[in-house]
Amino acid sequence: MLTAEQRSSFRETVVQYRDRASGGAFIIHSPGDEEALGGCVSAGRGFAHVNPSGDVTACPVSALATHNVRTSNLREALASPLFAMIRQNGHLLETEGHPCGLSAHAEELESMAKGLGAYRTGTPESAARDKEWPVAIR
């Protein structure tokens, strides 16, 4: 995690890149843009994250998934019980003074997600699963 000072400096840099008169980049800074976007936009409220292995997570910070784009499609992942549960439990997206809501509620999120068949990404088990599936573009 970045310190408060580092987050502030990074935020300034992101805003500078986005606002360049020469055609700034389209950048969503998360965490950082939550206030301007009406709160955390993860879990399909505005974006989702697909990691290099194809796992679809609520955001880059969340390491929980129920879907992988190699075996399902993005539409199914966005409509998944995991994403629905996060959206229905809006308190999971509240930061409570922490830079990231899902990170602030990581233990509660993981506990709730277990009943939905969610798996932790980035583990030796998920790496083994990656090797089982050929990359397929759908």
- Comparing 39 with 74, the larger pLDDT belongs to 74
What per-residue confidence (pLDDT) applies to 81? Answer: 93
Tell me the average pLDDT across 73-96: 86
Token reading at 6: 């580092």
pTM of the full structure: 0.66
Token reading at 90: 């809006």
Per residue in 87-98, pLDDT tens?
888 888 777 777
- Which long-range contacts link 69-76 to residues 24+ away (Cβ below 8 Å)? 69/138, 70/133, 70/134, 70/135, 70/136, 71/133, 73/138, 74/48, 74/50
Question: Would the CA dihedral through 28, 31, 36, 40 be positive or negative?
Answer: positive
- Comparing 57 with 95, the larger pLDDT belongs to 57
What per-residue confidence (pLDDT) applies to 136? Answer: 40
Most confident of 14-18, 22-26, 104-108: 104-108
In this predicted structure, the answer to whether residue 129 has a pLDDT above a threshold of 70 is no
